[in-house]
C-alpha cells in the first residue's frame, strides 16, 4: 500500500429537515490508500450505501471534506464531477445495472464511448480483453438480457474497469449471486487489485466475502467503529 | 454526437411497436397538413380560375368626369343637381395608339381593345335588351375564354356576325346560322348572323350578352377610331396593382387593377387561406403534443438507465442529445412517411384544372411536402426538448435505486 488515494474528514449527511431530519453520517473520517482492497461492513441503515454514493461523487455531503487524487471534490460542479467520475471511479452495483438493450461488449465500453463520443476500435479491443479476462469470451456480443446473474455481474465488473479507474466502489456486488458466482466475482476483484493496483471498497454484509479483503472498515450509526 | 445517435436509434429499435405507433401518429398528422395544403391551395386556384380567370386583370377606361358646371360657382340659383355617377360613357379616342407600349411592358400577356354599350336584339316581334361587346376578331378568347363556353357553332367574329348566350338564344328561338337585328343605343342597327351560342353558367351573361366584331361595334356605336376600353391579362395576376400603376405612369390612361373591383373575393381568399393555416397549425400542434407525451413516457420508463449512464460518466448534455435525437428521428420518419402517403393519395385526385362537380379541387402540387417534413422535424425536436431536459436532470442515485 502506498500514499492515500482519498480522504474524507468530518463527513456529515442528513436527510429531511426539522423534526424529520435523519443524520446518516455523523462526522465520519476515512482514508483509503492506493491499491487497497477493503470491505465496508455494518448493519442496514448504518450509512454504508450513503458513504459509497458520496465517495462515488453521485451525491454531495451536507458538510465535511472530500479529497481524491489531490482534488477537492466538495466544491466541484456537476460537469466536473461527471468527468472525474468517468475517468477515476468505477461502480459495481448489487443488481448489475447494465443497459438492457445493449450487448455485453457495448455495456463494457460505455464509459469510454461516452467520453470519446464514439465506439473506437481501441475501446472495443480493451472491452473485449476485459470480457475475456472475466471468462466471458463466448458472450461478448450477447445481449445482456440473455446472460445469467453471475455473467451480468462479471460484465458490470468489466465495465467498472474499462477506463482503468484508480477506485472501484462495489455496493453488495455478490449480494444477488449464488455462492459459486460470488466467489468467482471476488476472485476476479482480488486478481485485478493485485495485478493492476486498483483500489476497491466493497460494501457487504457477508463475513466470508469481507474476509477475502485485506482491510475491514466497520460503520455504525454514521461513524467508523472499526 | 455519433454515439448519442447510436443510443437514440437503439432505444427506438428496442421498442419497435411503440416507435411504429408514434411514427404512424406523426405521419397521420403530416398527411392532414399536406391534405389541407393541397385542398386550400387547389380551392384557391379553382376559385381564381373560375372568377378572375375570365376577368381582365387590368381595365383601361376613360376616367369618370365631374358634370360640367353651367354657371360659374356662386352665381345664379341652382335648379338641378346632377350627382357624379360611375358610368364611364366617355370613350378613349387615342388609347389604341398606346397598345404597343402597353404590350411591351413586362408581365403583360395580352391586350384586347373593346367597344361596349347596350342595345336591343330583335327578331320578328321578339325583342331582348342586350349588352354589346365588340372584340377584335383575333382576340375573341383573349380575356373571357369564349371558345371554351361555345355549345353550338364557333367562336368566330367577322363583320356581320354575332355570338350570343344560350338563354338569349332560347328566348328568341335562335340557332346558329339564323339572322337577327341588333340595334345599338345610338339608334343604329345592323342585321347579323348568329355564328356561335355560348353557355357560361352565369345567368346575366347567358341571357344578356352579345359579342360582335370590333368593326361591327364601330358601326353600331359610330366610333370610327375610338374605343371604350382596353382589357389586359398578365402573366401573374397578383402583379395587377403594380402594372396598372406603371401603365398610368407611362400612358396617362386610367388603369384599374382587378383587385380594386374584387376586394370581396380577395378577402374571401384571404379568410380561406387563414382557415387553412389554422387547420394546419392544429395538425402540427397535435404532432408536437403527441411526440412530447410519447417522449415523456419514454424518458420516465428509462429513468434507471439514465441514472446508470450518468453514474458511468455521461454528461447531462449527452442525455439531452440522446432524447432530442430520438424526437428528431421520429419527426423525420413520420414526416417523410406522411408526405409520401399524402402524395400517393392526393395523386389520385384530378386537380383543380380538371375538377368535376361533387369532387374536391385538390392540387397535388400544392401539398407543401418539404415544408411539412421540415416543420414536423423542427416541431418534434422542440417537443422533445422538455422531456429530454427532465431526463438530463435525473438524479442518478434515485434513478438507480441504490
Chain A touched by B357 (CB under 8 Å): no
Report CA dihedral (A109, A112, A113, A118) to the nearest 10 degrees. Answer: -120
Which has more pLDDT, B68 or B182? B182
Give the confidence band of B229 by pLDDT, cuts at 50, 70, 90.
very high
Say yes or no to pLDDT of B393 above 70: yes
Nearest-CA residue of chain B relative to A171? B402
Coil, helix or strand for A21? coil
Q: Which residues of B touch A53 (CB under 8 A)?
A: 397, 402
Do the Cβ atoms of B2 and A117 come within 8 Å? yes
Helix H or strand E encompassing B151? strand B150-153
Do the Cβ atoms of A114 and B309 come within 8 Å? yes
- Distance, in Å, from the CA atom of B262 to the CA atom of B351, rounded to the nearest integer, reads 25
Looking at residue A65, what is its pLDDT?
Answer: 94
| Terminal Cα-to-Cα distance of chain A (whole angstroms) | 19
Whole-number average pLDDT of chain B: 87
Going by their DSSP bridges, the two strands A215-220 and A223-224 should be labelled as: antiparallel
Structural domains for chain A: 4-224 (3.40.50.300)
Helix, strand, coil percent content, chain A, rounded in steps of 5 = 40, 25, 35
Q: Which residues of A touch B316 (CB under 8 A)?
A: 78-79, 82
Q: Which residues of B touch A79 (CB under 8 A)?
A: 315-316
Chain A touched by B309 (CB under 8 Å): yes
Of the candidate ranges B65-79, B197-211, B301-315, the one whose mean pLDDT is the lowest: B65-79
Looking at residue B88, what is its pLDDT?
Answer: 44
Looking at residue B351, what is its pLDDT?
Answer: 61
Q: Which among B14, B305, B312 is the nearest to A111, CB-wise? A: B312
- Distance, in Å, from the CA atom of B208 to the CA atom of B74, rounded to the nearest integer, reads 45
Say yes or no to pLDDT of B82 above 90: no
For an interface test with B, the pick among A86, A97, A121 (most B C-beta atoms closer than 10 Å) comes out as A97
Do the Cβ atoms of B311 and A56 come within 8 Å? yes
How close B322 gets to chain A, by Cα (Å)? 11
For an interface test with A, the pick among B3, B298, B313, B326 (most A C-beta atoms closer than 10 Å) comes out as B313
In this prediction, what percent of chain B has a pLDDT beyond 90? 48
pLDDT (tens digit, 9 = 90+) per residue, B233-267? 998 888 999 999 999 999 999 999 988 877 788 78
Question: What are B185-189's contacts with CB under 8 Å, separation 24+?
Answer: B185/B117, B185/B118, B185/B119, B185/B221, B186/B117, B186/B220, B186/B221, B186/B222, B188/B219, B188/B220, B188/B221, B188/B222, B189/B220
Give the confidence band of B31 by pLDDT, cuts at 50, 70, 90.
very high
Looking at residue A1, what is its pLDDT?
Answer: 47
How close B267 gets to chain A, by Cα (Å)? 55
Do the Cβ atoms of A82 and B6 come within 8 Å? no
Chain B touched by A145 (CB under 8 Å): no
Do the Cβ atoms of A99 and B1 come within 8 Å? no
Nearest-CA residue of chain A relative to B15? A101
pLDDT (tens digit, 9 = 90+) per residue, B146-190? 888 999 999 888 888 999 999 999 999 999 999 999 999 999 999
Q: Which among B2, B310, B318 is the nearest to A118, CB-wise? A: B2
DSSP B284-304: HHHHHHHHHHHHHHHHHHTHH
Chain A touched by B145 (CB under 8 Å): no
Q: What are the start-end ranges of the E strands in B7-67?
A: 58-61
Say yes or no to pLDDT of B84 above 60: no
What ipTM was assigned to the predicted interfaces of this complex? 0.90
Do the Cβ atoms of B3 and A111 come within 8 Å? no
CB B243 within 8 A of CB B234: yes
Q: Which among A94, A101, A119 is the nearest to B11, CB-wise? A: A101
Chain A touched by B71 (CB under 8 Å): no
Looking at residue B286, what is its pLDDT?
Answer: 86
Query: Which residues are bridge partners to B189 per DSSP?
Result: B183
Do the Cβ atoms of B3 and A78 come within 8 Å? no
Do the Cβ atoms of B311 and A91 come within 8 Å? yes
- Distance, in Å, from the CA atom of A38 to the CA atom of A201, rounded to the nearest integer, reads 5
Looking at residue B86, what is its pLDDT?
Answer: 47
In this prediction, what percent of chain B has a pLDDT beyond 70? 91
pLDDT (tens digit, 9 = 90+) per residue, B90-143? 788 888 889 999 999 999 999 999 999 999 999 988 999 999 999 998 888 888
Question: The whole model's pTM is what?
Answer: 0.72
Nearest-CA residue of chain A relative to B307? A97
pLDDT less than 50: residues of chain A: 1
Q: Which residues of A touch B310 (CB under 8 A)?
A: 58, 82
Nearest-CA residue of chain A relative to B9? A101
Which has more pLDDT, B209 or A20? B209
Helix H or strand E encompassing B329? helix B316-346
Q: What are the start-end ranges of the E strands in B203-343?
A: 209-213, 229-234, 254-257
Amino acid at each position: 500500500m502506498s500514499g492515500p488515494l482519498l480522504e474524507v474528514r468530518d463527513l456529515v449527511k442528513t436527510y429531511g429537515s426539522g423534526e424529520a431530519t435523519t443524520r446518516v453520517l455523523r462526522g465520519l473520517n476515512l482514508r483509503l490508500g492506493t491499491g487497497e482492497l477493503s470491505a465496508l461492513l455494518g448493519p442496514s441503515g448504518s450509512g454504508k450505501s450513503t458513504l459509497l454514493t458520496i465517495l462515488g461523487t453521485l451525491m454531495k455531503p451536507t458538510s465535511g471534506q472530500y479529497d481524491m487524487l489531490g482534488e477537492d471534490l466538495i466544491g466541484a460542479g456537476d460537469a466536473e464531477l461527471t468527468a472525474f467520475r468517468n475517468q477515476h471511479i468505477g461502480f459495481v452495483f448489487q443488481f448489475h445495472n447494465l443497459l438492457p438493450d445493449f450487448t455485453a461488449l457495448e455495456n463494457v465500453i460505455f464509459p469510454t464511448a461516452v467520453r470519446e463520443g464514439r465506439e473506437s476500435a481501441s475501446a472495443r479491443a480493451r472491452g473485449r480483453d476485459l470480457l475475456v479476462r472475466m471468462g466471458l469470451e463466448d458472450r461478448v456480443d450477447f445481449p445482456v438480457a440473455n446472460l445469467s446473474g453471475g455473467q451480468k455481474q462479471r460484465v458490470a465488473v468489466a465495465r467498472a474497469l474499462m477506463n482503468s479507474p484508480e477506485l472501484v466502489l462495489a455496493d453488495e456486488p455478490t449480494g444477488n449471486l449464488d455462492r459459486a458466482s460470488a466467489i468467482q466475482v471476488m476472485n476476479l476483484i482480488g486478481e485485478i487489485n493485485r495485478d493492476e493496483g486498483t483500489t476497491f471498497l466493497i460494501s457487504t454484509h457477508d463475513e466470508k466475502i469481507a474476509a477475502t479483503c485485506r482491510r475491514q472498515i466497520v460503520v455504525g450509526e454514521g461513524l467508523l467503529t472499526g | 454526437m455519433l454515439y448519442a445517435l447510436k443510443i437514440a436509434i437503439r432505444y427506438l429499435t428496442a421498442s419497435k411497436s411503440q416507435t411504429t405507433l408514434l411514427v404512424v401518429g406523426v405521419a397521420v398528422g403530416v398527411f392532414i397538413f399536406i391534405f389541407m395544403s393541397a385542398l386550400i391551395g387547389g380551392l384557391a386556384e379553382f376559385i381564381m380560375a373560375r372568377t378572375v380567370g375570365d376577368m381582365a386583370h387590368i381595365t383601361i377606361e376613360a376616367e369618370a368626369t365631374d358634370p360640367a358646371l353651367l354657371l360659374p360657382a356662386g352665381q345664379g340659383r341652382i335648379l338641378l343637381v346632377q350627382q357624379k355617377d360611375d358610368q364611364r360613357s366617355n370613350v378613349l379616342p387615342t388609347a389604341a395608339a398606346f397598345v404597343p407600349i402597353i404590350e411591351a411592358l413586362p408581365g403583360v400577356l395580352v391586350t384586347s381593345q373593346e367597344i361596349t354599350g347596350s342595345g336591343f336584339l330583335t327578331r320578328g316581334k321578339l325583342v331582348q335588351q342586350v349588352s354589346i361587346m365588340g372584340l377584335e376578331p383575333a382576340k375573341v378568347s383573349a380575356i373571357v375564354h369564349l371558345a371554351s363556353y361555345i355549345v353550338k357553332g364557333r367562336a368566330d367574329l367577322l363583320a356581320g356576325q354575332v355570338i350570343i348566350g344560350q338563354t338569349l338564344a332560347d328566348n328568341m328561338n335562335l340557332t346558329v346560322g339564323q339572322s337577327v337585328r341588333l340595334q345599338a343605343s345610338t339608334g343604329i342597327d345592323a342585321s347579323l348572323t348568329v355564328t356561335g351560342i355560348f353557355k357560361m353558367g352565369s345567368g346575366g351573361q347567358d341571357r344578356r350578352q352579345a359579342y360582335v366584331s370590333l368593326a361591327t361595334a364601330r358601326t353600331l356605336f359610330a366610333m370610327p377610331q375610338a374605343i371604350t376600353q382596353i382589357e389586359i391579362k398578365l402573366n401573374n395576376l397578383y402583379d395587377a396593382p403594380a402594372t396598372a400603376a406603371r401603365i398610368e405612369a407611362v400612358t396617362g390612361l386610367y388603369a384599374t387593377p382587378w383587385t380594386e373591383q374584387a376586394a370581396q373575393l380577395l378577402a374571401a381568399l384571404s379568410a380561406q387561406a387563414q382557415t387553412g393555416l389554422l387547420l394546419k397549425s392544429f395538425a402540427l400542434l397535435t404532432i408536437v403534443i403527441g411526440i412530447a407525451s410519447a417522449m415523456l413516457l419514454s424518458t420516465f420508463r428509462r429513468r434507471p438507465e439514465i441514472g446508470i449512464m450518468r453514474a458511468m460518466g455521461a454528461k447531462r448534455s449527452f442525455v439531452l442529445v440522446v432524447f432530442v435525437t430520438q424526437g428528431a428521428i421520429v419527426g423525420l420518419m413520420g414526416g417523410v412517411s406522411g408526405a409520401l402517403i399524402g402524395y400517393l393519395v392526393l395523386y389520385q385526385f384530378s386537380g383543380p384544372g380538371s375538377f368535376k362537380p361533387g369532387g374536391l379541387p385538390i392540387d397535388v402540387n400544392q401539398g407543401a411536402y418539404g415544408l411539412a417534413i421540415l416543420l414536423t422535424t423542427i416541431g418534434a425536436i422542440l417537443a422533445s426538448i422538455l422531456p429530454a431536459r427532465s431526463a438530463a436532470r435525473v438524479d442518478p442515485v434515485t434513478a438507480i435505486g441504490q
